């Protein structure tokens, strides 16, 4: 069985997953906002084997993405982990189910960008995820209106909490959703890969 990062009952732990292909300053900003506003004890940066909703063409090897994520993560409360590959989790609902069984008493918060909230209804068993962990959404440029008016946002309608409740989100019974606004980054992994590919062609 894959080894999970250190944890203990009553800890508040944020779960921020993705391909991180590559990780960038925008990801670091999400981590910083979540740690500060939600009063997390730890944040697990979960580097996934791959995203079922994305084309795997151009996906860097997992060890390479892990190294890049560790270089980006300077806060000691951030733990970079690839345990999803170890437990064979292809979908996020499998990750959630595993952690609920393996980590009794830990208060997890699922973290995503606003662009992911817009597409959340396409995730396999997304309602199961929402019913088992409170969700924190960090606003992203160009995604605010689309995310807060989408299918998933409508489902969360009466379960959405004000930003001022963020500090206790980890203790809220799910379903619970908070969308946080603040400093935003225009960076995206897709953009960075395109720039890198263009640079390589011009060498």
Segment 92-112, tens digit of pLDDT:
999 999 999 999 999 999 999
The answer to whether 43 touches 78, Cβ cutoff 8 Å, is yes
What is the DSSP pairing of strand 135-138 with strand 107-113? parallel
Query: From CA 84, how far away is CA 46, in angstroms rounded?
Result: 7
Query: Across-strand partners of 16?
Result: 45, 111
Q: pLDDT at position 183, please?
A: 60
pLDDT at residue 188 in the model: 56
Looking at the DSSP bridge assignments, the partners of residue 110 are 15, 135
Average pLDDT of the residues in 177-203: 58
Q: Are strands 107-113 and 78-81 parallel, antiparallel or unpaired?
A: unpaired
In sequence order, the 6+-apart residues with CB closer than 8 A to the CB of 60 are: 21, 22, 68
| pLDDT (average), residues 17-40 | 94
Residue 146 burial (CB count, 10 A): 14
Q: Find out whether 95 and 128 touch, Cβ atoms under 8 Å.
A: no
Predicted pLDDT at 182? 73
CA dihedral (36, 42, 45, 49) positive or negative: negative
- Encoding tokens for residue 28? 């670091």
**Cα(110)–Cα(43) distance, rounded to whole angstroms?**
10
Q: What is the reported pLDDT for 190?
A: 54
What does the pLDDT look like over 4-13, one tens digit per residue?
999 999 999 9
Strongest mean pLDDT among 69-78, 137-146, 160-169:
160-169
Cα separation, 30 vs 12, whole angstroms:
16
C-alpha closest to that of 179 among 193, 195, 164: 164
Q: What is the pLDDT of residue 189?
A: 47
CA distance 106 to 99: 9
For residue 126, pLDDT beyond 60: yes
Comparison of pLDDT for 57 and 85, the residue scoring more: 85
Please confirm whether the linkage preceding 91 is cis (ω < 30° from 0).
Answer: no
């Amino acid at each position: 069985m894959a080894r999970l990062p250190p944890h203990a009952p009553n800890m508040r732990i944020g779960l921020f997953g993705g391909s991180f292909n590559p990780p960038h300053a925008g990801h670091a900003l999400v981590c910083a906002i979540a740690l500060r506003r939600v009063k997390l004890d730890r944040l697990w940066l979960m580097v996934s084997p791959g995203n079922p909703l994305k084309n795997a063409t151009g996906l860097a090897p997992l060890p390479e993405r892990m190294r890049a994520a560790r270089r980006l993560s300077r806060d000691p409360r951030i733990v970079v982990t690839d345990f999803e590959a170890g437990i064979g989790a292809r979908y996020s609902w499998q990750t959630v189910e595993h952690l609920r069984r393996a980590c009794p008493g830990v208060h997890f918060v699922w973290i995503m960008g606003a662009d992911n909230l817009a597409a959340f209804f396409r995730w396999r068993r997304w309602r199961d995820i929402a019913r088992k962990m409170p969700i924190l959404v960090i606003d992203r440029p160009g995604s605010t209106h689309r995310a807060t008016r989408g299918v998933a946002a409508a489902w969360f309608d009466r379960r959405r909490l004000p930003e001022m409740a963020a500090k206790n989100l980890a203790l809220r019974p799910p379903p619970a959703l908070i969308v946080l606004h603040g400093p935003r980054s225009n960076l995206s992994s897709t953009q960075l890969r395109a720039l890198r590919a263009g640079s390589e062609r011009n060498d």
